[in-house]
Amino acid sequence: MKTPDWVKNAVFYQIFPDRFARSQPTIKGQWQASSLEGWDATPTMQGYKGGNLWGVIDKLDYLQDLGINAIYFTPIFQSASNHRYHTHDYYLVDPLLGGNVAFESLIEAAHRRKIKVVLDGVFNHASRGFFFFNDILENGPHSPWLDWFKILDWPLSAYDGSKPANYVSWVDNRALPQFNHDNPQVKEYIMQVAEYWLNKGIDGWRLDVPNEIETTGFWSEFRDRVKAVNPDAYIVGEIWSDASKWLDGEQFDGVMNYLFTVPTIAFTAGDRFNKEYAQPYYSPYPAISAQEYANRIKDLLSLYPEEIKLAQLNLLNSHDTPRLITTVGEDRASMELATVLLLTFPGAPSIYYGDEVGLVGGKDPDSRRGFPATENWDISVLKYHKDMIALRHQYPALCTGSYEILYAQESVYVFARVLDQEEIIVAVNTGIESATVNFPITKLASQPNQVLLGSGRFAWQTEAEKNHLEITLPPRNYLIVK
């Protein structure tokens, strides 16, 4: 069982391409949109804001300064939707994003800065505009591509919701016809798409709703084909629950770790989380205590082997959830404490674009706002993101060290990350009052005494030949000691 080493030391940045940045290309044949939403206007379901890969290239220095060394892009292929989960052509980058020429420039510029690039693979379903399905719409039962999809009856109704669709689509959304993965040609097509973009330089695939593909051996073959092109390619699945079935060492390297997200928000935000923002598999309430959080983390860490554990994609929110800062009523401390736990947890942390400057947003599509202008950044939020990311890069224990829970009572949670001689203690107080705790420590070889970040006091004591640590934490604060 082996996962890519670079992932264990990565800090990801998730980009929704239509909303992150836009720049004017100077290359002939780069077509410009004639109708766009205002960049700062409230997003709509179908409106485009015109973000592109040229804009991302212009912001790579910003990302590098932030400490980012890997980017996960939501889909970039030609599509008739601003989120591009309705794929038209798996071999063409959307013209609005700059096309394949912009992608090639992006890969070169990112790799020059040692930034990895992971693309979103939407392989469960295509779109009504995908050539093979469009041929069926045009030719009906005479199409040569019938067995690429799951046709139930005739006539097909791709747009008129008053009539039966007569084909299988993802969650009954007739805009997203589902592939017939039992067709060997379909499987081979998807495998070749994956290989093609790896050969073009990408560093991995994030797989959209991979649990929906139930064809026996599909993801095992996918892994074999991907790793044959690039053994260090990252394969990460969108699985919101226990992913043990897919993390057997023969399919994915990791998953989007919502099992970390939910308890972390429930602990750090407590009753501040607005239940109106809850959704299936994303319900960070009721509030939980430090003891309950410790139990949830223990259970999570016991789910997967160590090698897999270090390759999880950990996150606080994404394009599929409301922004954390909005769900907690813009309580800055909730966001900061959750970010501390994110950036000190085993696995690769992922920052959703704009979180680092305080970008707000409710449910989709509001969670996909345009990246704000510099004058609208929350500089204090940017500072602690930079500080925490720099700390993670500086100390290997925060990336690949063991995770030892030292204390968990009421609002105070204390743990250590240990790698060889490097021992780092992280203490968090989510309560609204100052807290002082004293507890024995038997799991550490040293007595960390250098404050790296945060506020509070600590003192080592020896009682009955045992080391005790006393920590005083201000309300809604944290302390990291080396």
Q: What is the pLDDT of residues 250-284, one digit of tens each?
A: 999 999 999 999 999 999 999 999 999 999 899 99
pLDDT band per the 50, 70, 90 thresholds, residue 32: confident
Q: Is the whole-model pTM more than 0.75? A: yes
pLDDT band per the 50, 70, 90 thresholds, residue 439: very high
Residue 125's pLDDT is 98
If we measure between CA atoms, which residue out of 412, 408, 399, 395 comes closest to residue 448?
A: 395
Neighbours of 19 (CB within 10 A): 27
Q: CB–CB of 205/235 below 8 Å?
A: yes
Average pLDDT, the chain: 97
Cβ neighbors of 91 (< 8 A, separation 6 or more) are 77, 193, 196
pLDDT of 26 higher than 80: no
H or E stretch including 340? helix 332-342
Is residue 387 flagged as an active site residue? Answer: no
Q: What is the mean pLDDT of residues 304-330?
A: 97
Residue 31's pLDDT is 77
pLDDT of 412 higher than 90: yes
Residue 27's pLDDT is 81
Q: Which residues share a beta bridge with 466? A: 463
pLDDT band per the 50, 70, 90 thresholds, residue 28: confident
pLDDT band per the 50, 70, 90 thresholds, residue 33: confident
Q: CB–CB of 380/366 below 8 Å?
A: no
Q: What is the mean pLDDT of residues 164-172?
A: 97
Q: What is the mean pLDDT of residues 204-221?
A: 98
The Cα-based distances of 398 to 72, 150, 297 in angstroms read: 21, 47, 16
Percent of the chain's residues with pLDDT above 70: 100
477 residue type, one letter: N
The Cα-based distances of 253 to 180, 193, 215, 238 in angstroms read: 25, 19, 19, 12
Q: What is the mean pLDDT of residues 364-392?
A: 98
pLDDT band per the 50, 70, 90 thresholds, residue 466: confident
Residue 30's pLDDT is 80
Q: What is the mean pLDDT of residues 337-354?
A: 98
Is residue 238 flagged as an active site residue? Answer: yes
Assign residue 200 a region (left: φ > 0; alpha: ψ between -120 and 50; beta: otherwise).
Answer: alpha
Residue 65's pLDDT is 98
Q: Which two tokens stand for residue 77?
A: 């292929």
Q: Which residues share a beta bridge with 313? A: 256, 348
Q: What is the pLDDT of residues 469-478, one digit of tens each?
A: 999 999 999 9
Q: What is the Cα–Cα distance from 218 to 196, expressed in whole angstroms?
A: 18
Among residues 18, 208, 331, 423, the one annotated as catalytic is: 208
pLDDT of 416 higher than 80: yes
Residue 29's pLDDT is 75
Among residues 238, 331, 336, 356, the one annotated as catalytic is: 238
Residue 308's pLDDT is 97
Angle between helices 290-303 and 258-269 (to 10 degrees): 170
SS3 assignment, position 206? strand
Q: What is the radius of gyration, based on Cα positions, of the chain? A: 24
Q: What is the pLDDT of residues 115-150, one digit of tens each?
A: 999 999 999 999 999 999 999 999 999 999 999 999
The Cα-based distances of 215 to 226, 236, 424 in angstroms read: 18, 18, 45
pLDDT of 248 higher than 80: yes
Q: Which domains does the chain have, with CATH numbers?
A: 5-124+179-394 (3.20.20.80), 400-481 (2.60.40.1180)
pLDDT of 34 higher than 90: no
Q: What is the Cα–Cα distance from 361 to 269, expressed in whole angstroms?
A: 17
pLDDT band per the 50, 70, 90 thresholds, residue 304: very high
Q: Which residues share a beta bridge with 469? A: 439, 460
